[in-house]
Amino acid sequence: MKAAVIGGGLFVLLIIVVLLTVATTQSDTEAFVATTSGSQDTANNGASPSFPAALKSTVASQAASSTVEGENAKNLIPFVLNIWVKDRFELFIAEHAEQAPLAVQIAYVAHSESLYTKDTHDYAVDLFSRFVNYKVALASEDVEINMVQASLKSVQEKLDARYDLRRQFFSHREYEYLFGSDAASDNDALARLAIAQDSTLTREAKKNTIVESLAISSDSEAFKPTVDMHRIQQIKQQYRDNNSRFSAISAEFGDEVAERFNTLWEKQGAWEQKVEGYRAHVKKLQSANLSKQEYSKLIREYETSDFTENEIKRLRVVVNSNN
């Protein structure tokens, strides 16, 4: 009997344990369901999403990111070495003047990535890095030139030293695009300094010679080494109107170059028209029965009404050279 009671007691105890286990499992399950349900409700209310929702959100975010990257890639332009690169580099350095050279170089990496295509980005970063290193080296060298007080020999020596320093960082082609215009100006200034220090010339002769050197200019000097000047001249001769010239130059060298030459040729065209008008007026006066005094007076009146003093000097040079 006792054994039966004990056995029955054990059986009841076993049932109680099983019931407690089931109850605990059910409670945990309900808690998990409640948590999941709460998470879904939270996601619907704008807070942390459930795992499936988060997965969908991540996939959507990646797709959107890829779309944005694709759109940005369409807006990227190739980096092109031209004479405006130096100005752009200088501007970027000026905008980060408070930073150390290395920090400026690092900042330019992100700038380049946002602007240039992948196949040209590395070269842009490399060239900028060398340009910054050149600026640092330049600051430690005594290559500043005082054209007013310096002797011809010292100026030439400093120009040579500066050239050597630049060639340590840049190839010949890069040098031409980055510093070609500056070098041409330096050489012109050196030539004028040589005239000014020439003891065999009188003061008036020096003045006239320097003025003449300043007045001499050409397309190749004004824009060297921007483009292939031979090709530019071919385009100029091939097309008679500036609109056609602009389109042709723009197609080969870009809008900036085309705009500069278009402006130049418009000014040249306007000047040539004024010269032709002057010649026609002179011819008309020459055919009239005028005294020398009347003729000179009318010519002077025409010149002062249509030309500035500098243009009059230039006009007389042009007219006399063609006579």
pLDDT tens column, 26-39 = 444 444 434 444 44
Residue 123 clears pLDDT 90, i.e. is over it: yes
Let me know how long the chain is.
Answer: 323
Longest C-alpha distance within the chain, in Å?
163
Residue 134 clears pLDDT 90, i.e. is over it: yes
Cβ pair 96, 107 in contact under 8 A = yes
Task: Please give the Cα distance from 11 to 223 (Å, whole number).
Answer: 106
Could you state, in order of their start, the residue ranges of all structural domains in the chain? 228-323
Alpha-carbon separation of residue 259 from 172, 234, 256 (angstroms): 27, 17, 5
Count of other CB atoms within 10 angstroms of residue 140: 8
Alpha-carbon separation of residue 229 from 178, 222, 253, 259 (angstroms): 17, 11, 11, 15
Partnered with residue 77 across adjacent β-strands are 116
Residue 267 clears pLDDT 90, i.e. is over it: no
Structure tokens at 310: 């500098």
The mean predicted confidence, pLDDT, of the chain is 73
Q: What is the mean pLDDT of residues 160-188?
A: 87
pLDDT value for 122: 95
Structure tokens at 102: 């290395």
Least confident of 83-92, 207-216, 260-269: 207-216
Cβ pair 240, 269 in contact under 8 A = no
Most confident region among 3-12, 147-156, 301-310 by mean pLDDT: 301-310
Residue 77 clears pLDDT 90, i.e. is over it: yes
Percent of the chain having pLDDT more than 90? 20
Q: Identify the DSSP state of 260.
A: H
Helix, strand counts (H, E) of the chain: 14, 0
Task: Please give the Cα distance from 72 to 113 (Å, whole number).
Answer: 10
pTM value is 0.45
Structure tokens at 7: 């056995």
In this predicted model, which residue has the larger pLDDT, 78 or 249?
78
